[in-house]
Chains A and B, each alone.
Chain A
């Protein structure tokens, strides 16, 4: 995979973890063409806490999918740590997702048949990390998010807040460049939501790059950069 790092690397983007250049996403629904994202430019530096806000239908989910390498832009270029992901194969994209992006979802998205420890360790399996190291790292991370006593519980045996902590531990396990949190508090009560936001704040302090996708303006207070999307365009930054 080394070629990916060599290709497209240039000095002037050294600090940029993520860059979207003139990125558009057009869906074709039958005869109709829907522009979900319209020529947006976003630049995120290492250590940034970025909020991507906008009402539903604004294109923020599409933007998140593009940033998370879950989808490919129709036009424009996306650079993730200097790599133009537009040019990657499906398999390489999967590798990039596993290695460089830590996802935190609104609905937690844990695997129901696996316990907390196995859920956290799973992304390392797809990166061919040896088993003993996987277990060690997963245990350490679960301890950090305060779930030492709950390692062997399955998701349905955990509360919403606990599940989201497991998801955070899972997001961190491959030491990603970016943590991509999509409405991480959306399914939680205020108190638990605050606790999760505290963890994100803590991670930011330790130098993590965080992209928070939300429709809740309150959550954007933590961010040092806010991109507001409307009708597929950035209307405020």
Chain B
């Protein structure tokens, strides 16, 4: 029985091909926008979460707060602070690091990039815990000084000529031998970094005591909150100020999640507006259809169609338009997300696009429901037509 109504509705839709397609397009745009935006923002979130997870969920990062430097009262971090933290038990290791931008020369070409320095003896553990592999060459060994490990972009993109293991790069009139190349992480900043031993970095940036970032690796994940609190307390006591911040990977992740969440709501809200416009399109099309087919409705009633038959026919019709629009919208939305994914790579961040079946299914079901809702009023109007009036209509 339902199949018969379905086929009848389908024939009517196909009979008004152009207008049916135009109506469908309205829904396609709305659904495609929603699907692609949800997929993109969720994939972005997923990618960031993945990075942070491999990046050390067991890490507490300590950095100076606000602007420091000559002329300000604020005092940056120093090796004293590193010692203060080292005294607290519960850490695998505490690494002082310097991260600054520097000029880099390679085969006569100059570029600027972020240079990081951590003590040579920590290199092995640091990269193991970070989960970033050295794909070519080896790691920095304890006691080495003028050696460097470079990110994948430094090797392939920063200079006209590719940088290989064994090549020499120059920073601050000092040559560094490239001993290893890191795997691609996915974000431009990390992939463009050059890592050298802390001793060398101190020479390069002419800093004897300053520390930009302290990385404290926690032994037991569950202890992170307590340890974070302890660091804050001890540092405040020793430094007699609060010009530092102690953050955990989880906190950063949470913050990013919040920002992305708001972004997602805004984007999907905008997309939803276009879907509403599409729904109004369906309604408009259905009203036109009712008007246009008034006589047809009269005929059907004359040959035995009840009000509910007409109601069902028209609702199926609008639901079908919604469903077709939804199906195409989901396909196009998914394709769009896949198309935009690689574009993000050029912008310096690789989003790994993951299609979620539930999101796709939701898009489809939503379009169907929107179609049905948009069809209810016109269908109701059609079903209430009096047979004699409808038959007389020209």
A residues whose Cβ falls under 8 Å from a Cβ of B: 65, 68, 70-71, 90-91, 94-95, 97-99, 103, 105, 109-114, 118, 122-123, 125-128, 131, 170, 174
Query: Which of B4, B298, B302, B391 is the most central at the interface, judged by chain A CB atoms within 10 Å of its CB?
Result: B302
Q: How far is the CA of A123 from the CA of B296 in the complex (A)?
A: 13
Sample 7 A-B pairs with CB under 8 A, ordered by A number.
Answer: A91-B306, A94-B305, A94-B306, A94-B309, A109-B302, A128-B1, A170-B303
Closest chain-A Cβ to B309's Cβ sits at a distance in Å of 6
Whether B303 and A126, one on each chain, are in contact in the complex, defined by CB atoms closer than 8 angstroms, is: yes
For B301, list chain A residues within 8 Å (CB): 70, 94, 97
In the complex formed, the residue of B with least CB distance to A99 is B304
A90 (CB) vs chain B CBs: closest residue = B307
From B11, B15, B296, B391, contact of A70 by CB (8 A): B391
Alpha-carbon separation in the docked complex, A103 to B8 (Å): 21
A97 touches B303 (CB 8 A): yes
Given known contacts A70-B387, A71-B388, A113-B14, A122 and B308 CB-to-CB distance under 8 angstroms: no
Give chain A nearest CB distance to B304 CB in angstroms.
2
Q: Please give me the 4 A-B residue pairs with the lowest Cβ-Cβ distance, nearest first.
A: A98-B304, A113-B15, A126-B304, A123-B303
- How far, in Å, is A158 (CB) from chain B's closest CB? 16
A123–B306 Cα distance when bound, in Å, is 11
Q: A148 CA to B29 CA in the complex, in Å?
A: 45
Question: Looking at the complex, which one of B3, B299, B391 makes contact with A111 (CB distance below 8 Å)?
Answer: B299
Identify which of A90, A109, A123 contacts B304 (C-beta below 8 A): A123
CB distance from B294 to the nearest CB of A (A): 12
CB-defined contacts of A70 to chain B, threshold 8 Å: 301-302, 387-388, 391
- Enumerate chain A residues within 8 angstroms of B388, measured Cβ to Cβ: 65, 70-71
CB distance from A167 to the nearest CB of B (A): 10
A112 vs B289: C-alpha distance in the bound complex, in angstroms? Answer: 13
**Chain B residue with Cβ nearest A102:** B303
Q: How far is the CA of A110 from the CA of B391 in the complex (A)?
A: 12
Please, which residue of chain A has its CB at the minimum distance from the CB of B302?
Answer: A103
12 further A-B pairs in the complex, CB-CB below 8 A; given A91-B308, A97-B387, A127-B304: A65-B388, A70-B388, A71-B386, A94-B306, A95-B306, A98-B304, A103-B303, A109-B298, A112-B296, A113-B12, A126-B309, A131-B4
Which residues of chain A have C-beta atoms less than 8 A from B386's C-beta? 71
- B295–A109 touching, CB < 8 Å: yes
Judge if B365 is at the interface, Cβ distance under 8 Å.
Answer: no
* Complex interface: chain A residues within 8 A of B298 (CB): 109
- Does B300 interact with chain A (Cβ within 8 Å)? yes
Q: Which residues of B contact A123 (CB under 8 A)?
A: 303-304
List B residues 274-304 near A (Cβ within 8 Å): 295-296, 298-304
Q: Complex formed: what's the CA distance from A122 to B306 in Å?
A: 13
B300 touches A122 (CB 8 A): yes
List the B residue with the shortest CB-CB distance to A101. Answer: B302
| Cα(A128)–Cα(B5), bound, Å | 11
Given A113-B14, A125-B4, A128-B1, also A95-B304 (CB < 8 A): yes
Q: How far is the CB of A176 from chain B (nearest CB, A)?
A: 10
Chain A residue numbers with a CB within 8 Å of B15 are 112-113
- Distance of A93 from chain B, by nearest CB (Å): 9
Asked if B302 and A68 make an inter-chain contact with CB atoms under 8 angstroms apart, the answer reads yes
Residues of A with C-beta under 8 A to B306: 90-91, 94-95, 126
Q: Is the CB of A98 within 8 A of B11?
A: no
In the assembled complex, the CB of A140 is this many whole angstroms from the nearest CB of chain B, namely 18
B300 CB contacts on chain A under 8 angstroms: 111, 122, 126
Given contacts A113-B15, A128-B1, contact A98 B296 (CB under 8 A): no
Chain B positions within 8 Å of A127 at CB level: 304
A70-B391, A103-B302 known; A113 and B307 CB under 8 Å? no
CB of B285, distance to nearest CB on chain A (Å): 15
Given the known interface contacts A68-B302, A94-B307, A126-B304, the answer about A111 and B387 at a Cβ–Cβ threshold of 8 Å is: no
A118 to B8, CA, bound (A): 9
Closest to B390 in A: A70
Q: Say whether A94 contacts B299, CB under 8 Å.
A: no
| Pair B305/A98 contact, Cβ less than 8 Å | yes
A65, A113, A123, A127 pick with most chain B CB within 10 angstroms: A113
CB of B296 within 8 A of CB of A94, answer no
Q: How far is the CA of A109 from the CA of B394 in the complex (A)?
A: 11
B299 contacts A109, CB within 8 Å? yes
* A170–B300 CA distance with the chains assembled, in angstroms: 12
Determine the chain B residues whose CB is within 8 A of the CB of A71 once the complex forms. 386-388
Distance (Å) between the CB of B11 and the closest chain A CB?
A: 5
Task: Kindly list chain B residues whose C-beta atoms are within 8 Å of the C-beta of A95.
Answer: 304, 306
